[in-house]
Amino acid sequence: MAELLDLDAEVLHSYLSEVTAWIDALAAEPPHRILDLGSGTGTGALALVRRFPGADIIAVDKSAPLLHHLSGKALAQGVADRIRIVPADLDTGWPAIGSVDLAWASSSLHHMADPDRVLAEVFGAIRPGGLLAVAELGSFPRFLPDDIGIGRPGLETRGHAALAEAVASEVPQLGSDWGPRLTKAGFTIEAERTFTIDLEPPLPASSGRYAQASLRRIRPSLDGRMSGDDLAALDTLIDSDGPDSVLRRDDLTVRTTRTVWAARRR
């Protein structure tokens, strides 16, 4: 997971720059304390610390290994003194973090057992006039051409259909419209924006590793939902070091969307 999160930040760095600039434009004034909910390896925390040089970041996550990884990156980038690490499982309680001017929750709310309770806690933590930015996947990234050249045309399309079945049962909150839930928690929706990511070849070498890590992440969920031939072809793409491996292909793309809601506490 750490590798995938780091690659996501590396390959989608333009999106991170664009979305944080958008949040900056919406903020009533520069934030001094920022909360990153479900910070992982610091994709959001490190983008926000660069965007807002006068702010300190509170990075909250329940995974000690991911937070340790974030600490190492913050130290290497010279911002360790501005990022406070807070290990906490938000499904079991709210940590003592005090008040903040801005909160960021990227691809984290859909993992919460009770996201409505968490949003109510966030509302209480944000100072009046402050913002909450909720970013969620609009779609799992697509990487492959329709004809991948190994006798399984349409493989990725079938994989996405199978993944949608798995997600509906395993992560039912994924794909939710968070607008009504933000309003229920007391926020006023300031703006909603979908960011379209469409990266074409030639891509940096890290894109192949990003595709491999992403497809490996979803592979277990596809067992029993795709044919044996399709699964074998997928395994060739993500496990092989041969010419068909995603690590060696020169026809990869990165196509996905991220929807971001900006909500203000009045």
Question: Which pLDDT tens digit goes with each residue over 226-255?
Answer: 999 999 999 999 987 888 999 999 999 999
Domain boundaries, the chain: 1-138+175-200+253-266, 140-171+202-250
Characterize the bridge pairing of strands 56-61 and 126-137. unpaired
Q: Which residues pair with residue 83 across a beta bridge?
A: 57
Domain spanning 1-138+175-200+253-266: CATH superfamily: Vaccinia Virus protein VP39 (3.40.50.150)
pLDDT digit string (tens) for 179-196? 999 999 999 999 999 999
Say if residue 202 is preceded by a cis peptide, omega within 30 of 0. Answer: yes
Nearest CA to 106 among 151, 137, 73? 137
CA 191 to each of CA 24, 132, 134, 183, 217: distance values in angstroms, whole numbers, following the listed order: 13, 11, 11, 12, 32
pLDDT digit string (tens) for 15-36? 999 999 999 999 989 999 999 9
> Could you tell me the pTM of the whole model?
0.94
Contact between 236 and 244 under an 8 Å Cβ cutoff? The reply is: yes
Write out the two tokens for 81.
């003194």
Nearest CA to 5 among 80, 76, 61, 83? 61
Contact between 109 and 134 under an 8 Å Cβ cutoff? The reply is: yes
